[in-house]
Amino acid sequence: MFKKNILILVCLSLIFCLPVCAKQKEVSSLEIRQMQTRTYEVKTKKELMEAIVNVLQDRDYLITESNYNLGVVSGYKECKEKAFLGQRFARFETSVQINELGGKSYKVRTNFIKKFLDPTGSPGAKKDIKNPEEFYREFFSQLDKSLFIEKQGI
């Protein structure tokens, strides 16, 4: 009976340790940059910046900085997430950079950082965003829709 209990404990500890020990797929900086960057053909930089601000606000981000000359928009949002023993607060921070490529072509690069908040509300260590490719794809899909809506005058 004692050996059986030890065997069960060993098996359970291995089951709980495997996800922690499993090596995550390494993503190169080039792959990350490709996820974070899209090119847009729009009339003006202002139109693109307005669409970006609209998307961030639709996603519950508070805009902390917007600089037309530099082509930068920054913001953050805070939300509750399920944790092992209850809930914890997370803070998502973003910055978006717009670079003119020539004519009416612009390159948009965004990055998102996730931080957990400590009990005093101060941001803690940076955490990786789960499924970053999907996360960025959703952002750019919303940006595409926002630009389409603005072109239609809706």
Give the angle subtended at the CA of 12 by the CAs of 6 and 13, to the nearest 5°. Answer: 90
Q: Sorting pLDDT into bands at 50, 70 and 90, what band is 32?
A: confident
Residue 45 resides in a domain? yes
Residue 69 resides in a domain? yes
Which pLDDT score, from 0 to 100, does residue 21 have? 47
Residue 2 resides in a domain? no
Residue 1 resides in a domain? no
Domain encompassing residue 135? 28-152
The token pair that represents 15 in the structure block? 């089951």
Helix 29-36, helix 132-152: angle, nearest 10: 30
Q: Report the domain count for the chain.
A: 1
pLDDT(151) > 70? yes
> Which amino acid is located at 118 in the chain?
D
Residue 33 resides in a domain? yes
pLDDT(18) > 70? no
Residue 66 resides in a domain? yes
Residue 19 resides in a domain? no
pLDDT digits (tens, 9 = 90+) for 103-121: 899 999 999 999 887 777 7
Find the CATH number of the domain harbouring 134.
3.30.530.50
Residue 108 resides in a domain? yes
pLDDT digits (tens, 9 = 90+) for 37-87: 999 999 999 999 999 999 999 999 999 999 999 999 999 999 887 777 777
